[in-house]
């Protein structure tokens, strides 16, 4: 940073974009001599040539191309920021960067974020999936505005974050029509040793579901472990096995993946939370995402 003069870097960036010192000088409202001197000073500070002359034009050296890539990112971002700041505050887009735990069903993740996109102001949404612990770390580093997860933050995060319960649903079982017909009769004993599609992610409802199978004396025949909730449903649609999904998205699962609802298991629950930083506040897009969603919550108690 001692050698990086941002004004000189900007001059270099304009010269590279314009292709000549004369055109860049006109754009910057400087004399060519002044701009040429500023470029020479910058190259001297960096200790490397940024341009070479070829057929009366300037071409970037390999070093110059590297510097230009970084400068282009910087000044394009700065220009975008300037465009936003020129707008009245009430018209500026709201940023919403959401971390989504990989174990959350994608249909529910969409329904949780959908209200924020319906705000009168433009919302620029970015979604990032991953492990909850990694996402919470990124939240603390202010890379994310909110994290959607299926587990409460650990004790080490107390005081750093605040959690809100957004959804609470029983789990249901689904399968392709032919398999569902077989499994619906004499349920739940019909599940014994039948092909089951399990999530390989550490979803809290998974252990509860396995305990429920054991309580019903059902031998679970796991034919595939998949770490993507959408891919599990595709396997289910093709008749590979039956799978579990939250009851609150039953109709969407059946319609989108052409499967049949087998049964609802009230003893197995899937609870989802939104986690924000404890301090620093949040914008209207995050506030809308935190709003209670009764259509996704089968319970009334929201004391957590």
Which one has a higher pLDDT value, 117 or 83? 117
Token code pair at residue 293? 């969603």
Render pLDDT for 13-68 as a digit per residue (tens, 0 to 9): 999 988 889 989 999 999 999 999 999 999 998 889 999 887 777 889 999 999 99
Spatial separation of the C-alpha atoms in residues 287 and 22, rounded to whole Å: 51
- Find, among 140, 152, 150, 186, the residue nearest to 171 by Cα: 150
**Length of the chain counted residue by residue:** 304
Spatial separation of the C-alpha atoms in residues 199 and 197, rounded to whole Å: 7
Comma-separated ranges of CATH 3.40.190.10 domains in the chain: 92-167+272-296, 169-269
Helix (H) / strand (E) containing 69 = helix 62-85
Give the per-residue pLDDT at 120: 86
- Find, among 201, 148, 204, 200, the residue nearest to 171 by Cα: 204
Render pLDDT for 187-211 as a digit per residue (tens, 0 to 9): 999 999 999 999 887 888 999 999 9
Give the per-residue pLDDT at 160: 82
152 band by pLDDT with thresholds 50, 70 and 90: confident
Instruction: Look up tokens 């433009």; give the residue.
Output: 122
Token code pair at residue 190? 């019909």
Helix (H) and strand (E) counts in the chain: 11, 10
> Which one of 3.40.50.720, 1.10.10.350, 3.40.50.1460, 1.10.10.10 gives the CATH number of domain 6-85?
1.10.10.10
Comma-separated ranges of CATH 1.10.10.10 domains in the chain: 6-85
**How many Cβ atoms sit within 10 Å of the Cβ of residue 233?**
23
Render pLDDT for 269-287 as a digit per residue (tens, 0 to 9): 999 999 998 876 778 899 8
Token code pair at residue 302? 């929201």
Spatial separation of the C-alpha atoms in residues 287 and 282, rounded to whole Å: 7
CB of 144 closer than 8 Å to CB of 219: no
- Find, among 85, 77, 63, the residue nearest to 10 by Cα: 77
Distance of CA 223 to the CA centre of its chain: 29
Helix (H) / strand (E) containing 204 = helix 204-215
Answer whether CATH 3.40.190.10 is correct for domain 92-167+272-296: yes
Spatial separation of the C-alpha atoms in residues 179 and 243, rounded to whole Å: 11
Spatial separation of the C-alpha atoms in residues 192 and 250, rounded to whole Å: 23
- Look up the CATH superfamily of 169-269: Periplasmic binding protein-like II (3.40.190.10)
* pLDDT beyond 90 at 293: no
């Amino acid at each position: 940073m001692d050698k990086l003069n941002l004004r000189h870097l900007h001059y270099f960036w304009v010269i590279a974009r314009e292709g000549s010192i004369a055109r860049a000088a006109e754009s910057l409202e400087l004399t060519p001599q002044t701009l040429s001197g500023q470029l020479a000073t910058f190259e001297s500070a960096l200790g490397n040539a940024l341009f070479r002359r070829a057929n009366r034009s300037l071409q970037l050296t390999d070093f110059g191309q590297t510097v230009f890539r970084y400068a282009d990112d910087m000044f394009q971002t700065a220009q975008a920021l300037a465009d936003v700041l020129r707008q009245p505050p009430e018209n500026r887009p709201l940023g919403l960067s959401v971390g989504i735990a990989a174990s959350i069903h994608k249909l529910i993740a969409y329904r949780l974020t959908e209200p924020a996109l319906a705000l009168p102001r433009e919302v620029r949404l970015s979604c990032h999936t991953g492990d909850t612990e990694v996402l919470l770390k990124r939240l603390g580093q202010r890379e994310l505005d909110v994290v959607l997860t299926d587990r409460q933050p650990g004790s080490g995060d107390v005081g750093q974050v605040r959690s809100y319960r957004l959804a609470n649903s029983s789990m249901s079982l689904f399968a392709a029509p032919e398999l569902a017909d077989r499994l619906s009769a004499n349920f739940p004993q019909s599940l014994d040793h039948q092909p089951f599609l399990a999530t390989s992610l550490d979803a809290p409802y998974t252990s509860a579901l396995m305990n429920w199978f054991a309580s019903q004396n059902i031998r679970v025949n796991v034919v595939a472990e998949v770490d993507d909730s959408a891919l599990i449903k595709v396997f289910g649609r093709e008749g590979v096995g039956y799978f579990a999904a939250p009851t609150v998205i039953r109709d969407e699962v059946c319609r989108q993946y052409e499967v049949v609802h087998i049964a609802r298991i009230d003893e197995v629950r899937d609870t989802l939370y939104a986690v924000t930083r404890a301090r620093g506040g949040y914008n209207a897009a995050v506030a809308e995402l935190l709003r209670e969603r009764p259509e996704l919550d089968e319970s009334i108690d929201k004391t957590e």
